[in-house]
Structures are given as C-alpha cells and as structure tokens.
Structure 1
Amino acid sequence: MSDGALGLTQLFLFLFFIMLGFPIAFTLMAMGLFFGYLGMQERIFDLLIQRTYSVMANDVLISVPLFVFMGYIIERANILDRLFRSLQMASGNIPGSLAVATLATCALFATATGIVGAVVTLMGLLALPPMLRAGYDPRLATGVICAGGCLGILIPPSIMLILFGATAGVSVVQLYAAAFIPGVMLAALYILYAMGIAVVKPHYAPRLPPEEVNIPFQAILFSLLTSFLPLALLIALVLGAILMGLATPSEAAAMGSLGAVLLAIAYRSFTWAKLRESVFLTARTSAMVCWLFVGSAIFSSVFGYLGGQQLVEEFFKSLPLNQFTFMLLAQFLIFLLGWPLEWTEIIVIFVPIFLPLLDDFGVDPLFFGVLIALNLQTSFLSPPVAMAAFYLKGVAPKHVRLEDIFRGCMPFIFIVLFCMACVYVFPQLVTWLPEQLYGGGGAGALPLTVDAPPPGGFQEEEILLPSD
C-alpha cells in the first residue's frame, strides 16, 4: 500500500471509530501513532514529543481556560436570572417580548460563556416555563432558545474563533473584528423574526397581561442598571480591549475572569463551593480542548507525512470548481460533519484539510473562518442530530416533544443560511471592521504569533525529526 493510500485509510478508520463512540482525542492519537509507526518507524515517538510540546506552549490557548472560567463563574452566580428578568421588564410592550428578552439574554450570555450546552440548558430552565405559561407556541419558544444558545460560537469573544485562529495561524484579534458585525446581524435577524411572528401570528406569542407590562419606568431603569449594565459593561470592556489593541485575548480573558468573580461578589452569590465547581469544570473543559489539539497535531502531521493531504488537494483541484462552488462544497461538508461531531473536533481535525486550498481559490482565511462559525449554527439546529434540541429536550416539560423543538429550529436555520448568503454577497460585512481598525489586511493588529500547525497539516519536509 502506498503512503498516500495509507493516509486515506488512516482518515477513514478514524471516522469509523468515532462513529462507534470512541473518545475522539485519544482515537486521534492512537491512529496517528499506529499509522505513523507504519510510515515513520520509531521517529513517530519523536514527533509525539515535539507536537505535544508545541501545542502546550501555544500562548493563544491560554485564553481558552480563562474565558471558560469567566463563563462558569457567571453561570453559577445566578447572574443570568437577573439579566433575563431585567430584559423581560424592559421589553414588556414589544411584540413577542418574552422571545425578544430570551434572544437578547442568550446573545449576551453566549458571548460571556461560549458553551452551547450550558446556555441552552440554563435558558431552557429559566425562559421556557414563562413563555409556555404566557401561551407561546412551543415551537417558537423552543426555537428561540436553541438558536440564541448557539450564538456564542460566532459572537466574540468566541472560543471557537480562538481555536480556529490557533489552527489556521490567523490573528485572533482580526477574527474577532471580522465576526463582530455578522454576529450582531444574526442576533438582530433572530429578534426581528420573533417580533414579526408575534405581529403576523399573535397566537404564537400572546402579549403579556397588563400587570406584567405596566411597570414603573424607575423600576425598569433600576433593574437594567443593576442587572444588565454590569455584565454588558464587563463584556464590552473585554472585547473592546482586544479589538482596540489594548490587550491580547489572554490578557483580556484574565481581566474578564477577575471581573466575573468581582461581579459575583457584588451580587452576594459568590461562595467557595461555586468557585471550586467552576475551577473543576474549567479544568475538565480545557483538558478536553488541549488533548484534542495534541491528538489533532499528531494525526495531521502523520496524515501530511504520508501524503494524504496531497491526495485531498489533488482531488479538489481535479474537480471543475470555482471560488463559489468550492465554498459551497466546503461549507456543505462542514455542515454534514456537524451532525456526528462537536465544533471543536471540526475545527482542529477537518478544517486544516481545507486551509491549503484557500489560496488556490482566492479565499481569505478570515472570511472562511467567519463562514464556518455561521455554518456551525446550523449544525447545532439541524435534525436528526441537532445537539441544541437534545440539550433543551433534557430540561423541557414532558409535553414539549422533540418534534416540536426540531420544527421550531427550522426557521432559524433558514435565517442562518440567509445570513451566510448576505455575508458571501457582501464580504464587506466581514472585512470592513478589520480594515477600519487595523488597516489594509490588519497591518495594525496585535502580532499574535501562534505555534500552530501550518494550514492543512504538515508536509514531510516540515517535520523536524532526527535522522535514523
């Protein structure tokens, strides 16, 4: 068997084993070591040490546990409950007010945590019962929670964009600037859709009774100042420090974590038990991400060494593709991968396969990364394996069927596709802010150098191994 065929066998066997439910990170390492030994003999163990060290020494990845810790502190300090109540009071006279408050809360909280399962689950416990009691159609109520909970993948400071930047060797700062307008636009489209449904089909989202709407202005203002403003200000300071070049993502994440702790203390909801639980969950999540990166680095290095990457590139180049059809095919494949895989696995394993082809088709990596972040919204919402729907079903009342949740997600999938089409037709939505902030392709961006795999993995000559 040729080395190229051996590399493709490695890829297909990996897909087979993860479909059986094997742990992805350790399956990556096992496949890399096994096929690496077949192709490289004992040098694979030198590669293992080299790749593990290079991943663990990547400064960009420091921001991952810090942002995760910030999210878990906010989640366990009951800040989300205060935020939802204040937005619910402020939006009382708006059509579909509960749905609008839910989407706004999801957008803000998803920005703080970036963990889809946590946002969907908490909002399912917090916002779904009030919407159902108010007479909301279960499809609309569940749809807004699932869609809003996925916004953290796209809206900065997104952990997904950090991992994409580390994988592709792209500035995280510029990625955040590129994703900001599409993220805000998608959240606004969700809110406009919820308000439009409430106007066109009032029985889907009945207006609240007068006693819940006629709240004194002073009470609403006090609630917003004490609940909405502190968290919004914390996120704005963190994101602003990154975009304005005042701090790296890691430094901003550290200050955000400190701010979350101080916010929890100010709300008198900080306890050592909650701190210990947040640290434990952060360590567990961060360990998963780091081992995924180690496994992916070993797997992609061996895959490139055996010539599998070259075969994939030759296959794509042999197809009659232009820029549009290449982007369409790549995004469709990523959409399909979103059913069996989490976004972390897609970013660190499969995205590098497409990265070397971007230059051939004239695609900006920043533009490609933002489209992937948009695309992954649909992966979490699309049946039959819509993870956001299953997260919500686990905490929803028994009379809310999984079929209703799936049907509620469908309109939001079309909104995401519409947003992707707008971004493709008007790429300035992605490129304008980075150009304004950093000028001409990011000349003024922070020099975030990353020790990440070159786009598409490693070719044979790029692996520094001692000779036999």
Structure 2
Amino acid sequence: MLMSLGIGWVTLMILVSMIVLLLLGMPLGFMTGFVALGVSYLWFDTTQIMQMVAGRVSDFTTGYSFVAVPMFVLMASMLDKTGIARDLYNAMRVIAGRLKGGIAVQSLVVAVVLASMSGIIGGEVVLLGMIALPQMLRLGYQKNLAIGTIVAGGALGTMMPPSIVLIIYGLTANAPIGNLFLAAVPATAILAGMYVVYTLILCNVRPDFGPAMSKEEMSNLTRSDMIKIAKDILMPLLIAGCILGSIYAGIASVTESACMGVVAVLVVAALRRELSFSIIFGALLHTIRTVGMIIWVGIGATMLIGIYNLMGGDQFVSNMILSLDIAPLTVILFMMLILIVLGMFLDWIGVAMLTMPIFVPIITQLGYDPVWFGVLFCVNMQVSFLSPPFGPAAFYLKSVAPKGIELTDIFRSVWPYILMQIATIAIIIAFPGAITFMYK
C-alpha cells in the first residue's frame, strides 16, 4: 500500500510518526521498533522482511566488539561506587589549589583522567557534582563557572577513549575502533584545552570568579598526607595506562582492553580494601540497566534503518543530497546541523543508529574519512549532552546539585562551553590533520 506513495512521502510519514510517538512519551527503543514493524507490514511481506531484520539485529548484539560496551560500563560503575575517583579529586585539589581558578582547572584534569577510564558521562558528572561543585562554591567560585566546569568536564567521558560513543559509532559505521580512539585523543585535548584556557583567562581577569585556596589550608599537610596523595593519583593513572597503553601498544584489542580495565579496577579496589559484595552487586545491576537500554535502542534503530534501507531509503537520501549543487563542505556542515538538532531531542545512541547508516556512505562517496567523521560526530554529541531542553549532563548534575541550584541555572551556565564545542568542530573540519595524524 505504501509503495504506491513513493519513498519520499514514506520518509516524511516515518519522520512525522516518530515525532508524534516521542511527544506521546514512547521510549525511543520501542518507538523505532514500532514504526519499523508498521512500515514493513504496509510495504513488504512482513515474514520475509522480519527474517532479514532479525539477522541484522543478531549481528549487532552478538558482535565481538560489542562486548567492550558492558565491560566499560561495569568499569565506570566500579569507579563510581568505590572511592578511587573521589580520592583522585581530593589529591589533585592539593596540587592546583594555589592557582587562580585552580580548583576548576583541576576538576577538568580529573574529568579527563576519569574519562580515560570509563567512557560514559553519568558517573563522572554525578561524582564531580557531589565532590567538586560544593567545594568550588565553598571557596567562593562564581556559580556559573563552577556549574559549567562540572557539566562540560563530566561530558568529556564520552569523547576520550575508551568512549562508548566511539565504540557504537564504529560498530554502526563499520569504522576501525582503534583508529577512532587514536583520533579522539587530540580532539579531546583541543576541547579540554579550550576549557582550561577559558577558565584561567576568566579567573585572572576576574579573580573573584575563582579565588585560590588559603595558604593555611595548604600548609597543614603532613608527610603521610603527601604519600597518600601520591598513591591516590598513581592508581587511577595505572588503570588508565592499562587500558589505553594496551590498545596503543598493540597488546590488546579494544574489547580485550575493556576486560583488562575491569580487572585493573577490581585489583585497585581490593588493594584499597574497598572491594565488597554490595559494591560488585550494585555495579553489576547498574551495568545491566545501562546496557539493556543501549541494546533496546540499538535493536529498534537497527530494525528501522534496516527496513528503510531495504525500501531504498538510503539511496533516496544519498541521491537527494549528492544531487544538490553544493560543495562537499556544505554537506558536512548540513549534517552537523542535523546532528545538533536531533541531539537536542534524542539520546545519542538513537542519533547514531538512525543517522550513521545513511550519513557514512554519503561522506565516503564525497571522499571524506569515516574515522575523521566519527570524531566530528563525537564532538557534536558533546553539544547534545549540554544543550536544552534534554541535555542529559544537566539533569545528571541537577540530581546531586546543592540546594539552590536549579535546572535553569545549569542551562544558563553551559553556553560558553557549547560555543567552545562548536569551535572545536570548526577546527577539526578546517584542519582534519589535527586529529588524523594519530593513525595515518
């Protein structure tokens, strides 16, 4: 029945039905699956198509590389529930305390270190929100600077390897995850460097925005305190080195390094005498819930994109874009705009699953590198984590923010960081060699 309308009208019907179902509150994973079943019933022989779609779903959920996702989520949950990340922050606070804006800079450095161990944003934002935000407010930091530092720094977890976003992109776009990890390191350094420079300039121009710690507080440290500080910094660095070092040295694949990371966290937690049944059980329960959500969204999106491509939708979109009399760079910018808009309303998993199977073949035909585009996508999702109305990092922070900090305060604080994220996208587009030199 739908076949008589043509792929153009059916594409519009799919978009409208998805928007309506989202507004009605249907979860993304179920919504995409529901639309996929409806379209397949009205366009194809449902039995035959469902067999083909089932094969695609099976390939997605049973892929060897997908094992890295639950492993990295488990590792992040263990870091969140033990005191490893908390003690790392307290130790770094001593080092950066005498610098104007030093606590904010230190929070960003800790966020990068935690990002190199976890790959997700929820635990980082919550942890920094519980530890760093009250500390900065107590020391007299300007509220918007303190909030923006926590939200933007915590979101770096999805960009710095081992980023779950990069893993899902690699699986969806069939791009080498190892190269994605290599390219993401300088991109993360560019973005985090912008945050640090912005903080230092702001706090030196306006010293009342980020005052230094008092000399009395710094002078009370004993030798045993310094030894503990060294241990609290060294152990997380060893965990990060175990993960990234094994990948970059060619010792382990991404999946194997994820398992090594879990083992490393377990060993460190045991050495710190923090390993217990309740911590392991809580981490496993959180992992099951998180990965379950990822799988359901992935299944629904895989079904919808699989059926849409069988209808000829990928060719329709590709021909429509490539037939436009515009420069390839304009196509990239148009894609970035689409991703930013979608990211304001959809979870990043849904954005990746729905757009990458269509976008990646187009950018490949235009002669661009899928790995380079994957890093662009990852930076683009940084914007979605912070931007209203549904920026998840903002809601994570609101759940643990001190009394008096409202969601409007959080969204008001993130705009300078969103502008820096967009500037990073522009740098990577203008100078692709800034990230591709890592694997070429």
Same fold (TM over 0.5): yes
Partner of 2:22: 18
Q: How many residues align?
A: 435
Partner of 1:331: 336
Secondary structure in 2 matching 1:434: coil
2:60 is aligned with 1:55: yes
Q: Contact 1:28/1:295 (CA < 8 Å) preserved in 2?
A: yes
Superposition pairs of residues 286-435 of structure 1, within 5 angstroms: 286-435=291-440
Q: Contact 2:155/2:385 (CA < 8 Å) preserved in 1?
A: yes
2:213 is aligned with 1:208: yes
Q: 1:274 to 1:366 in 2, by over 3 A?
A: same
2:184 is aligned with 1:179: yes
Partner of 1:98: 103
Superposition pairs of residues 1-400 of structure 1, within 5 angstroms: 1-4=4-7, 5-41=9-45, 42-214=47-219, 218=223, 221-400=226-405
How big is the shift at 1:149? 0.7
Q: Contact 1:89/1:213 (CA < 8 Å) preserved in 2?
A: yes
Percent identity reads 32
How big is the shift at 1:321? 2.0
How big is the shift at 1:104? 1.3
Deviations 1:93-128, CA, capped at 9 Å, x for gaps: 222111112111122223322222221122111111
Q: In structure 1, how many angstroms separate the alpha carbons of the residues matched to 2:107 and 2:268?
A: 22
Q: In structure 1, how many angstroms separate the alpha carbons of the residues matched to 2:410 and 2:58?
A: 44
Q: In structure 2, how many angstroms separate the alpha carbons of the residues matched to 1:133 and 1:406?
A: 21
Secondary structure in 2 matching 1:150: helix
Q: In structure 1, how many angstroms separate the alpha carbons of the residues matched to 2:219 and 2:416?
A: 32
Q: Contact 2:115/2:161 (CA < 8 Å) preserved in 1?
A: no
Consecutive unaligned residues in structure 1, runs of 5 or more: 436-468
How big is the shift at 1:261? 0.8
Partner of 1:464: none
Q: In structure 2, how many angstroms separate the alpha carbons of the residues matched to 1:219 and 1:425?
A: 50
Q: In structure 2, how many angstroms separate the alpha carbons of the residues matched to 1:323 and 1:198?
A: 41
Secondary structure in 2 matching 1:68: helix
Q: In structure 2, how many angstroms separate the alpha carbons of the residues matched to 1:423 and 1:347?
A: 19
Q: Contact 1:120/1:388 (CA < 8 Å) preserved in 2?
A: yes
Q: 1:146 to 1:22 in 2, by over 3 A?
A: same
Q: Contact 1:156/1:180 (CA < 8 Å) preserved in 2?
A: yes
Secondary structure in 1 matching 2:437: helix
Counterpart AA for 1:414: L
Counterpart AA for 1:35: V
Superposition pairs of residues 445-464 of structure 1, within 5 angstroms: none
4+ residue stretches of structure 1 with deviation over 4 A? 215-221
Q: In structure 1, how many angstroms separate the alpha carbons of the residues matched to 2:223 and 2:427?
A: 40
How big is the shift at 1:419? 1.8
Consecutive unaligned residues in structure 2, runs of 5 or more: none
Deviations 1:270-318, CA, capped at 9 Å, x for gaps: 1101101111111121122222222222111110111222222222123
Secondary structure in 2 matching 1:398: coil
How big is the shift at 1:219? 5.6
How big is the shift at 1:7? 4.3
Partner of 1:440: none
Counterpart AA for 1:214: S
How big is the shift at 1:357? 0.9
Q: Which has the higher contact order (CA 8 A, sep 6+)?
A: 1
